[in-house]
Structure 1
Amino acid sequence: MAGETGPTDAQFKMIWERNLCPDIEKLMARVDDLEEFQVHPQSWLGEDDTWADPFHVSHAVKQCLVAAVDHLHACKVLVADAGAMHLAAPASLVRGSLENAAAAFWMLHPRDRAVRVTRALQWRAKDAHDEYVALAGINPAADQKKDAQTKRLAEVAAGHSEVDARVLSKGLNSTAMVEYADQNTRNDVKVLLMWRMCSGFAHGRQWAALSWGLRETFPTSNPDVLSVKFTNDLSRIVMMTLTATHLINEVEKLHAKRARR
């Protein structure tokens, strides 16, 4: 992958071993520590939680942050600890990390409390909907549970006129949250581009392998057809994980700002 103007393979290896792997381990230790990510009751986020009670904004953010770090750490374990260099699996894991970090950023970033609370309630409504879709076939009480959650979310939203309750009935998808994170973070952190590339690998799309995979071609019995083998290398893993790590760090900084008194 290395070119005359880009990092060398040795530099990618150094970044991976000296920076990224230790940073990912530190992130995992932080989300595992119950003393981390505390929210002061008189902080911005503490007041958000009061508005959104019992659907605390901080809980939704923490859930997304834990999932983001969990996916990223699994990628590190797969590549660094197990020594495996799969083509699609690292991208699938980083995709999960980017989506969850983007969701946390999307909820935390707005300066307007009403917007933060609205987004957290919308995220909860999506969670309730997805639970219903997944479990309706095996849970006889799925309808009642979804109705109760929907009603309670609407009651909480109605408690503050600034909260836009209309969004609770609208769909929410990962693309919108990733696009928001991409537009509101550093220009050199290509969140949307990397998420789309990772999604291509996660779904087994040919365009992703052709545009970013390493490939070898082999002749077949048909002179007009070649057999192609796609592989991965550390430079691609580094670029993917760097993007996810940068976004998670942005979420950490926002959380610290919103959670302190």
Structure 2
Amino acid sequence: MGESPPGDSQVDQSVLRVFNTLFTRANPSLERAFDVEHSSTVDPTSSLASDDKALGDLATSSTVTSMLLAAADHLDALRSMLFEAKVLYIRAPYTLLRCALENASVAVWLLAPSNRDERIIRRLRWEWANIVDQYAAFELIKHTPVRSKDDRRMHLLALARTRGLSDDQVSAIAGRTIGFGQIVDLAAEENALLDKATNRVLWSMCSGISHGRQWPVLPLSEHSRVAPIDDKRVWVRLSISEKELLDIADVTLLTFQQGWHLFDQRRRGHGL
């Protein structure tokens, strides 16, 4: 199969109306993301303040707001594409939604557990994943950082031991790094409106599109045969599947809103 370049397409007005409903529902969460300095105060008597105290310079509150802001950036870019540029590219919307879903899912995953020890373990695991990626990049450019990778690993383990975590819990922190697929799964479990398996499939297709995989192209697009190339191949003209796009946008915005909901729960006073 060959793909005939379609350029971009105008957005159907009925689709715009549905997107307008979705973005209107999520707008309070989007607006506060861009005013995070004034909308993310953590009460010193809250559960989130206690988490931050246990983590020192690895405060969960700042990590979560950073993830939600990153999600908002990508969602706002999609909103601009739809309502300002008024075009729908075949792949770019899925790439934007994938990034937004991953970042929002991390926020939900970090905040969801009712048990503080589990929230702290997840924050430390997330930091270890960041360290692994960072030092892999350092090795590629032959950069020697001030602090070694092992020094930073030992810092994470020291925080865990100070918390009184078990040996198994401590060893899990700097073990196998957690991936976005697993985080998306765990975040979906925290929202009664989402289905874990459906969430994973939608995320996987967005990820595939982002990396140029062929398998999700047809499921995520409308397509029509244009002309034969030879006796085994044809040119196909593609346009975006508005239904699939709306489904993925709905899942992403629900996860984004859930992240802010959990953040508000944890940052208010007298929490656990």
TM-score category, normalised to shorter length: 0.7 to 0.9
Query: Are 1:169 and 2:174 counterparts?
Result: yes
Match of 1:214 in 2: 222
Q: 3-state DSSP class of the match of 1:206?
A: coil
TM-superposition CA deviations, 1:76-95 (whole Å, max 9, x none): 22232222311111101101
Question: In structure 2, do the counterparts of structure 1 residues 10 and 140 end up closer, same or farther at CA, with 3 Å as the change threshold?
Answer: closer
Measure the CA separation in 1 of the matches of 2:138 and 2:86: 37
Query: Are 1:257 and 2:260 counterparts?
Result: no
Match of 1:20 in 2: 22
Greater shift, 60-69 or 233-242, is seen at 233-242
Match of 1:193 in 2: 201
Higher relative contact order, structure no. (Cα contacts within 8 Å, ≥ 6 residues apart): 2
2:89 to 86, 91, 94: 86
Match of 1:3 in 2: none
Query: Are 1:181 and 2:187 counterparts?
Result: yes
Query: Are 1:240 and 2:248 counterparts?
Result: yes
Q: CA deviation at 1:188?
A: 4.1
Match of 1:226 in 2: 234
Q: CA deviation at 1:12?
A: 3.3
Q: Is the contact made by 2:220 and 2:241 (CA closer than 8 Å) also made in structure 1?
A: no
Match of 2:8 in 1: none
Q: CA deviation at 1:178?
A: 0.8
Q: Is the contact made by 1:217 and 1:229 (CA closer than 8 Å) also made in structure 2?
A: yes
Amino acid at match of 1:241: A
Amino acid at match of 1:51: A
Query: Are 1:53 and 2:61 counterparts?
Result: no
TM-superposition CA deviations, 1:221-254 (whole Å, max 9, x none): 5244211122115443322221111011111111
The within-5 A match list for 1:112-151 is: 112-138=115-141, 140-142=143-145, 144-151=147-154
Match of 2:31 in 1: 29
TM-superposition CA deviations, 1:10-64 (whole Å, max 9, x none): 65331213x2344555433211211112211110111011111121111221221
Number of aligned residue pairs: 252
Q: Is the contact made by 2:98 and 2:203 (CA closer than 8 Å) also made in structure 1?
A: yes
Amino acid at match of 2:114: R
Match of 2:74 in 1: 71
Measure the CA separation in 2 of the matches of 1:125 and 1:131: 10
Measure the CA separation in 1 of the matches of 2:26 and 2:258: 14
Match of 1:38 in 2: 41
Q: Is the contact made by 1:45 and 1:58 (CA closer than 8 Å) also made in structure 2?
A: yes
Q: Is the contact made by 1:24 and 1:73 (CA closer than 8 Å) also made in structure 2?
A: no
5+ long unaligned stretches in structure 2: 1-11
Match of 1:203 in 2: 211
Question: In structure 2, do the counterparts of structure 1 residues 93 and 207 end up closer, same or farther at CA, with 3 Å as the change threshold?
Answer: same
Question: Normalising by structure 1, what TM-score?
Answer: 0.88
Greater shift, 150-159 or 97-106, is seen at 150-159
Q: CA deviation at 1:259?
A: 0.7
The two structures, once aligned, show a CA RMSD in angstroms of 2.1
Q: CA deviation at 1:220?
A: 2.2
Measure the CA separation in 1 of the matches of 2:165 and 2:174: 17
Measure the CA separation in 2 of the matches of 1:97 and 1:221: 38
Match of 2:6 in 1: none
Measure the CA separation in 1 of the matches of 2:173 and 2:43: 27
